Amino acid sequence: MQDDDDFLSEMGDVTPLKTETRVRRGRSATDKTLVELRREAAVTERGRDSNPLADEGVKPLDPWYVLEFKRPGIQNGVYRKLKKGSYAAEARLDMHRMNVQRARREIYGFINECHELGLRSVLIVHGKGERSPNSEAVGILKGFVDHWLRELAPVQAFHSAPPNLGGTGAVLVLLAKSEEKKRENRERFMRGRVPYEQGST
């Protein structure tokens, strides 16, 4: 007990320190988790992405479903030839084993590059989806290809390929003439012709 009394007498004139009120520290704008930073980077990247093609919300198609589409103004005879495979494919894109995100990039770049090069008929192999690990045989990429080709301005028409070119696992695509090809055709047509001048007799 003597020790306690000594301690109290020694500490008698000591005043306790004032404790400051604790403030809960909020997260500042710089205190972001790695997940949040990645998410923001992805949104920014998408904002810079000039590719307008959707990467979700498209229904898969049956492996045997026939893809067919033509824009107004495409002659029926031209479309029939495309459907039969009469136009030789000038380029080919094989999308086997691609996921949707990669396929989206590849098809966008492929169609635009072929159009710039002046190619008119191309083949895209998307597969039927029969080897899908899902219990149902569904063509996920096939559904996206059907959706994407309708959204791409250079695409004038498309149809599932004949059996010798892949059948319903591939699609033949007819592209519009590029501006360069249109100019070449105009020059060829005008070669040797005298322009008509109004008022001349």
pLDDT tens track, the chain, 201 positions? 566 666 666 666 666 666 665 555 555 545 556 666 666 655 545 545 688 898 888 898 999 999 999 999 999 999 999 999 999 999 999 998 899 999 999 999 999 999 999 999 999 999 987 665 553 445 889 999 999 999 999 999 999 999 999 999 999 999 998 777 667 767 776 776 655 555 555
Nearest to 111 by CA among 151, 82, 75, 160: 151
Q: How far is CA 172 from the centre of its chain?
A: 19
Whole-prediction pTM: 0.66
Give the amino acid at 189.
F
What CATH class has 68-177?
alpha beta
Strand pairing report for 91-94 and 121-125? parallel
Single-letter code of the amino acid located at 4: D
Pairing verdict, β 170-175 and 121-125: antiparallel
